[in-house]
Structure 1
């Protein structure tokens, strides 16, 4: 499993309030991960193959840094939100997940760190 993308979403939820993204501290990821249509829409946005909601567009902008740092600017709660979205994409949209990896981590430099990140945070406070 390579790095990815959904970190875009993660990146979005990621940034600390000092980066003016505190408004996403309580972002409801369940609305995305429990609805395959929404999750697919986010994936297509991140891939550049579909329209982006304002939130998805924000996530997409933050994705590169979040991927490289395993959500280093995220609060602990935001890390959990991001990891849950990534986990959902891996499980429900494996082809889209692979496309995102090819876009954001074609050499697989960050895949091991991302795997550890998802394993550490995806199961917390659900």
Structure 2
């Protein structure tokens, strides 16, 4: 085996192992219940957009949103990608103005959101 290949492969494996994921404590969130209940959906949006208070679960999601957007959900679990995908799909349709506020807040220069949505599209 070529020594360069072994070194590159080893470095790649170390890098892959070093990527840590976000905590899975909220992976059980019933996102369908959230997006189907206008009051709950509004509460999440208001928390994320700094228009209302956050409960512990909302605050946990909110703290990661800037990095999630910037890094295209690279540290998200499969469940988190699905939760984010469903949340964005629903607010885009049901709360388009708040969706724009969300996008502007977390991606003010509009550099990352399209890549984020592409990264979670199949989740």
Q: Same fold (TM over 0.5)?
A: yes
Deviations along 1:37-78, one digit per CA (max 9) or x if unpaired, are 111111111111111111111111111000111211112232
CA distance in 2, matches of 1:79, 1:119: 9
Extract unaligned runs of 5+ from structure 2: 1-19
4+ aligned runs moved over 2 Å, structure 1: 117-121
- Give the alignment's TM-score, normalised by structure 2: 0.76
Q: Rg: which structure is higher? A: 2
What is the SS of the residue equivalent to 2:61? helix
Structure with bigger RCO (C-alpha 8 Å, 6+ apart): 1
Structure 1 partner of 2:6: none
**Total equivalences in the alignment:** 104
Out of 16, 31, 34, the position equivalent to 2:33 is: 31
Root mean square deviation of aligned Cα: 1.6
Structure 1 partner of 2:97: 95
- Give the alignment's TM-score, normalised by structure 1: 0.74
Structure 2 partner of 1:59: 61
What is the SS of the residue equivalent to 1:23? coil
What is the SS of the residue equivalent to 1:22? coil
